[in-house]
Structure 1
Amino acid sequence: MRKGNYRHILICIAVCLIGNVFTARAQSVTGKWYGIGNPDIPGSSNSYLCEFIITQNGSNVTGYFNYFFRNGYFSNKLVGRYDASKRLLVLKPLPILYHLSANVGNGVDCIMTGVFKLKVAKVESTLSGEFLSDELHKYTSPPVKVNFRKLGKDEPELKERIKMKDLVLEEAPEVQTQAVPAQQTTAPAIVSTQPTTPLVLPSPTVKATEDAVKMRTNTYIRILDVVTDSVDVDLYDNGDFDADSISIFYNNKLIAHRQELSTRKPISLRVFVDSIEKHNDLLMFAENLGTIPPNSAIMIVKDGSNRYEIPLQSNYQKNGAVRLRKVQRTTLAGQ
């Protein structure tokens, strides 16, 4: 074969290799991505300003999902996988504030999985898809659709965009109206939800807690037979103190609101056990998840001379619950 042909073949191989390298880089999801999320439900005007900060290592993806909603900024670590052959990014479940929440003080988190498709073009690269609720909550928490575009290195991150008042007014007027009154010139309040620190929010109203508890399912840990007309209940933090905060409901009535669990001083209650009612339910509602999720407690129930220790756990989807059942003393003794 002539030298000219060899040279031509080598040039073709080099071009192909370089092209493959550039293609691989172009198909990577590493980088900053920005988009506006909208609930996929008719008539909804609530939007989320969203940001991905992603690092891809092979098919594994890590980074942060940040978003601004109403009057709060939220930051959550993300973990997922990217299938280069399908250009499909799938993220493990993340908490996103419920789209009908009036503000961050009385909002409820929905745990949602992210599914996004990468599209690479000369003009810009995009990640288009949606956040989806689990099977149990898909009818109450609609998908949140987001079209992310890849940002350049010099373009501002979401936290900087929030501080740029004119940009927020241009992109999401309903968010700016909620967050900063017209006469106010300072930037909206930023609330961080990094996993290493508990979520610090304005204290929600009693009504907000009463509404939120209905959006979670009840997980009954135990049905407890008691013989006295009333029982004493003490709740402690289960394990190390991690700033868990709870509310307690008894027979659908709020009897303790937004109290912090301690390892030393209990939350103490006395409840009447109605023999006419078939059952009496104690629910532990998680106001936060503390620094070590989930929200966990030890409930000690004192029924006369009997003492019961019951571990409870609650999160943003489930209330830990105990059902008290009034029985005759002879019935309990015969068990």
Structure 2
Amino acid sequence: MKTLSLSILLFIFPLLLTAQKSLSGVWVGNLSNDSAETRNDQSFEMALTEYRGKVYGYSYSTFIIEEKLYYIVKRVKGTITNGLCEVEDDEIVSNNFFEKRDKGVKQTITFRMNPRDSIWYIDGTWKTNQTKKYYSLSGRILLKEEKDRNKSRLLEHLGDLNIENTIADKPATTKPEKNTTSPPAPFRKPETTVAKTAPEKKKEVKTENPASEKKKQDDAIVKNNPAPVVTPPAARLYARANDKTETIYFRSDSLVLALYDNGEVDGDTVSVLLNGKVIIAQQGLKSEAFKKTIHISPEQSDSLTLVLYAENLGAYAPNTGLLIIYDGMDRHLIRFKADLDKNAAIVLRRKKN
């Protein structure tokens, strides 16, 4: 009897935890596909608000096709029934696709929340509906709760679109206030009076040597248009703190670095340094990859530091991007963030055989 009671308690306890935990928050992870013919994985985020059994929020996914980084931001909505949540696409907010996306394709995600080692995860499945043009796709989803909202690329993107404040504890119900200001007064042309003046006496104009006149003009041009100041890459490197992003373990003697703008291209420019030496200088970030191969000889240290230095902040601060490190068949994705006070730093360690 005690064994039966204990079994029932162990079964019910996770459900009680799920019932107490709210979905409101930021969830970060990956989507994987069941099909081997399509892209295998996507970086995926959701920012959700739970309110009275319903879910509202946004999703953000990125994927790479033929060396180009694509992204899409969507508004989502759903319901929760007995701990099972189903979220589906509501509308597309932003993307960088060249072709217009078929509005008939909707993605539905079904999942539960599960705690593991004091961390909450979203674990479930996803699928798209079939249309006349597209087959249905399906796969799995695994996200974990991200408590540090500064690390969320989705919230950063929503901030760029000025809609980050739409994520709240419950959906907004207030209507925007009407503009009660009165229209400006019509413009009237000011009256002008013409004063009579006595005719001026003609003054004698002394002519100068044409050669000396041209020299004066040239000197004035040089004075008003000084030569541009060329700033070297990573000029204030040591005046900024290094913010360690993560540690990457590698095996190969050469690594391929691929740099992308992490979402909307807004003019971000970075320099990359390896152990204090500039290996990529003042490179603008785009949706297409900029690649650089670095060679690491066995004589070099087993621990190297890769620093990403923000040369500017682009249109939207801070400077953000995606760095992919190819180590043979292995691939490491690092989403970095830097500004005028901090560099993004990545530690590279050689794996011991």
**TMscore range, shorter length:** 0.3 to 0.5
**TM-score, normalized by length of structure 2?**
0.35
